[in-house]
Amino acid sequence: MTRDTPDPVGGRIERDADGAPTGMLQESAMELVGCHTPQHTPDDRLKALLHAQRHLHSLGITAWQDALLGDTSGISDVSDAYLTAAGDGSLTARVAGALWWDRDRSAEQVPDLLRRRSLLRVGRMRADTVKIMLDGVAESRTAAMISPYLDGCACATAHSGTSFVDPDELRGYVTELDALGFQVHFHALGDRAVRDALDAVDAARTTNGFRDTRPHLAHLQVVDPGDIPRFRALGVTANMQPLWAAHEPQMDELTIPFLGDERSRRQYPSVPCCARAQRWQPAATGRSAAPTRSTASMSRSNRVLPGRDGQGRPVFLPEQRIDLTAALTAYTAGSAYVNHLDDTGSIEVGKLADLVVLDRDPFTETADAIGETRAVLTYVGGDRVYTAPDA
């Protein structure tokens, strides 16, 4: 790569003041290096999958959605590992696979998605979801925003992020996928990406009627207030990541200054999404961050306690904290709902015995101790898949 190397579509080569590459690659520019990295063998991928499964079971996780089945940025497809493990029974978790939407192709890839969906229906494995990456991330100013980012002097720039899929084309793609029974999993961080995703679902609902495909938007860092009621109206699930909703250098140094005060106050709107968006709000990543909105430990009186870095940190947008019942429901019943695992997610007669025994009752703990909760036993379908060493 030199100063004359053009930026690839959907990516950016960061350059110094003289135009020379600095070594930082944004979004699809990673493929310029990724395509040269050593490829993993099928045995590597299978060993990695089973190692990851053991670790996830040790955290009390019985099911997950793998959001990337396909080749991208030099990352090899792990579908073969899932097929092997699901076929021989070593896949003990329930897995919803998300087939990667290649944004360099159009609807021509739909027949291939149908073929792969059929192939990956083995044992506890299903691949009924298509993952569409709509934008990047706020820290690199690639999340798609309605209005431009600010510069270091708080002045508006000419850059409002990157939309990886044309909004008009997206509506057609989502309508076709929905008609074929696919769930669509949108990566949408910026408010423009969120709106484009909701517009696409709206088009699918108008054409196909309301189907039980359970589309969901993941990340939702910035959401325009006017778009929040649309989640419920369109039957779209808000998939939040509470761990990121905290004061830390990533937020305080790389995000807030470039979003500005007004947009920064609209980040990760947990309360309205949980209350009004959908029957369930699933969550991924950050066990104790949902009730506390902080990576530092917080007491119920909101007194700042020492954080992991030895410093006390304020709560990030404290009005967006949700209570412990809502947070646990999001991680259990909410995640089961979005993954069409309706016979799991809660302890009820007739449901599958996907169960976790914890080392404490989190409702009797102070908020700062929630994150210390550990799994003692994990069961999937009544079979024990994890036992803590000291159990």
Q: What is the pLDDT of residues 319-371, one digit of tens each?
A: 888 889 998 999 999 999 999 999 999 999 999 999 999 999 999 988 878 88
84-88, 309-313, 369-373: range with lowest mean pLDDT: 309-313
Range of the domain at 20: 1-37
Tell whether 240 and 307 lie within a shared domain: yes
Considering its fold, how many domains does the chain have in total? Answer: 2
Tell whether 32 and 101 lie within a shared domain: no
Tell whether 53 and 110 lie within a shared domain: yes
Tell whether 278 and 239 lie within a shared domain: yes
In a domain, 149, yes or no: yes
Q: Which residue has the tokens 């939702």?
A: 220
Q: Is 267 helix (H, G, I), strand (E, B) or coil?
A: strand
Query: Which pLDDT value is given to residue 262?
Result: 94
Tell whether 81 and 32 lie within a shared domain: no
In a domain, 190, yes or no: yes
In a domain, 127, yes or no: yes
Cβ-Cβ contacts under 8 Å for 37 (sequence gap 6 or more)? 74
Amino acid at 59: L
In a domain, 363, yes or no: no
Distance (Å, rounded) from C-alpha 80 to C-alpha 71? 12
Q: Residues 140, 142, 144, 146: is their CA dihedral positive or negative?
A: positive
Tell whether 194 and 234 lie within a shared domain: yes
Tell whether 69 and 199 lie within a shared domain: yes
In a domain, 359, yes or no: no
- Radius of gyration of the chain measured on its C-alpha atoms: 21
Across the range 97-119, mean pLDDT stands at 96
In a domain, 4, yes or no: yes
Tell whether 163 and 277 lie within a shared domain: yes
312: domain CATH number is 3.20.20.140
In a domain, 354, yes or no: no
Element (H, E) at 383: strand 383-387
Tokens linked to 149: 């980012």
Tell whether 235 and 256 lie within a shared domain: yes
Cβ-Cβ contacts under 8 Å for 222 (sequence gap 6 or more)? 138, 143, 145, 189, 190, 191, 194, 259, 263, 266, 267
Tell whether 51 and 2 lie within a shared domain: no
In a domain, 357, yes or no: no
Q: Is the pLDDT of residue 303 over 50?
A: no
Tell whether 69 and 22 lie within a shared domain: no
With CA atoms as reference, report the closest residue to 339 among 178, 214, 234: 214
Write out pLDDT tens, residues 187-245.
999 999 999 999 999 999 999 999 999 999 999 999 999 999 999 999 999 998 888 89
Q: Which residue has the tokens 């997610």?
A: 345
Q: Which residue has the tokens 């609902």?
A: 205
Q: Is the pLDDT of residue 283 over 80?
A: no
> 124, 87 in Cβ contact below 8 A?
no
> 272, 228 in Cβ contact below 8 A?
yes
Tell whether 91 and 32 lie within a shared domain: no
Strand partners, 100: 131
Q: What CA–CA distances, in Å, run from 379 to 304, 344, 370?
A: 36, 12, 21
> 91, 124 in Cβ contact below 8 A?
yes
Write out pLDDT tens, residues 29-78.
888 888 888 888 999 999 999 999 999 999 999 999 999 999 776 567 99
Q: What CA–CA distances, in Å, run from 177 to 192, 206, 240, 276, 384?
A: 22, 14, 23, 26, 37
Neighbouring CB atoms inside 10 A of 59's CB total 12
Q: What CA–CA distances, in Å, run from 183 to 30, 215, 388?
A: 28, 5, 35
